[in-house]
Structures are given as structure tokens and as C-alpha cells.
Amino acid sequence: MTFEDALQQALNGLSFGALLFILAAGLSLIFGMMDVVNLAHGAFYMLGAYVALSVTRATGSFWIALIVAPLALAAFGLIIEPLLLRRLRGRHLDQVLITIGLSLVIADFIRLRDDWGWGATVRSLPFPAGLDRSIQIAGSDYPTYRLFVIAFSAALAFLLYVLHRRTRLGALVRAGVGDAQMLSALGVDTDRLFTLTFAVGAGLAGLAGVVAAPVFGLQPGMDIDALIYSLIVVVVGGLGSLSGAIAGSAVVGPADTFGKVLFPQFALALIFAIMALVLLFRPTGLLGRVRIGR
């Protein structure tokens, strides 16, 4: 592999890791804060991509879709959490079953909506104007959009860090990750906080779907890969930790990209091996913490 090829793959790995961070941040927050096994997270990602497709076709603007789709998924999360998940807290098997069922419903709904331009056919979302070109990096062309994904993810990580560390809501979330029962005993409306947390997680999944769609396209089944990768990132980085989501995506993204180039038949096995090694030496993940109680 030449230096130019290695640089290209390093940028691809960084871009993929940036996308994984957007996807996994919401899942990590939901797992860590609510102790909810949300296996519909990949379906939220897929639904966000399809909502973005419809909004882009209606308005002609990717940027409007980038705002509308996450808000639509957040609103969906505001409905789903009290309707389906609130009464199942602590019942992990029931959570697994209900969220798998929800993901199947979403997938079937997308397949049946040919009249919306969705359906079972592979769809594509065009690159936004201005980001549909390439620039020269080390003598090779590199897509501008992938650089945008890296920059956008970094800006989002900074925004989430500020909200997480510098606001009252962030302090409540941190307290909830540490000990939700104590937070409730202190008079905090944890039901409302959990619903808001779930909505933010769903919105982040939808946002990841919008950002990923121009690169990877849209088709039913895209939720499965998204769910697997986001779970690996969350496990590697650590539950309930924003910095853990960053660390996990920084490890998994490049490992997967270089693995597909160097060991194409064992790329997925490679990241599972990395996850196993992390769990062997750090059962709570790279930056995870032991949660006190629920």
C-alpha cells in the first residue's frame, strides 16, 4: 500500500468513524441513562434517511432535510418512549422484543411505501450542492462530502460536550447515568427526563441516517448494519459516555476501513476481535464507568 493509498484509507476510516459517532452517541446515551436495550436504533437511522429523501425531493434542499429529519425522529421518540418503553423499565428481555418488533414494523412500512418513493428499491440521495466534488489531497482526488462529515461530526461532538458538561440538563443526564434512582428521590421528574433523552437519541439516529445517505444510499436492511456497528462502538467505548462514543468510533471506523482493504474476508471479524479484547481487559469499555443502580 502506497502512502497515498494509506492516507486515502485513513481519511475514509476517519469519515466512517465520524458517522459512527453520530449514530452511536444517541444509543450510548439511551443505554447509559435509561438502561434501555433499544434494538430499534438502526431502524430510526434508516427512517431518518428515508424522511430526508422525501424532504429533499419536496424542497430540493439537503440542508432542510438535515434539520427536518432529526426533528421528525425526535418527535417519534417522544411518542414511542411513554407509549411502549416506560412500563418496561428494567425488563430487558421485554425491551429487546418490543424494540425488535418496532424495527420490523418500520422496515415493513418503508417497503410498502412505494407511493412515497420509498419501497424495496435501492434509492440514492444526491450530494448537496458545493459538496458534490473532490479536492486534491497528496496528489489524489478526495470527496469533499467525506471531509464535511468529519467536520460536521467534530462540531456536533463539541456541541454535545458543551450541553453535557456546561448545562443543567447535562448535569441531570450525568447524574442519571450515575444513579437514576437517587435522582428520582431528589425530586427530579425522571419520566420526563427519560423521554427527552430517548427523543434526543432517536434524533441523533435520524441525523446519522441523513448524513450517511449520500454516501451509502438507501435500502431496507440498512438498519441491520447500522445497529451492529453502533452496538460495537458503544461496547468498545463504554455505555453512557460521550467520550466513550468518540473513542469507540475512533477505533472501530479506521479498523473496519483498513480491515476491508487488507483483510476483506475478515473485516467484520476484526472489529469483533477488537471488541472482545477490550471487554477482556476493560469490561466497562475504554471510557465506561460502572453504573451504581437503577
Stretch 9-34: mean pLDDT? 88
Backbone dihedral region for residue 130 (phi beyond 0: left; psi -120 to 50: alpha; all else: beta)? left
266 by DSSP, 3-state: which? helix
Please state which architecture CATH assigns to domain 7-113+141-281: Orthogonal Bundle (1.10)
What are the residue boundaries of the structural domains of the chain, listed by start?
Answer: 7-113+141-281
Stretch 187-195: mean pLDDT? 79
- With a cut of 80, say whether residue 185 has pLDDT above it: no
Under a CB-based contact definition with an 8 Å cutoff, are residues 24 and 286 in contact? Answer: no
How confident is the model over 27-44, as pLDDT tens digits?
888 877 677 778 999 999
Q: What is the mean pLDDT of the chain?
A: 87
> Residue 282 and residue 225: Cα distance in Å, rounded?
25
151 by DSSP, 3-state: which? helix
How confident is the model over 212-240, as pLDDT tens digits?
999 999 998 899 999 999 999 998 988 76
Stretch 114-118: mean pLDDT? 88
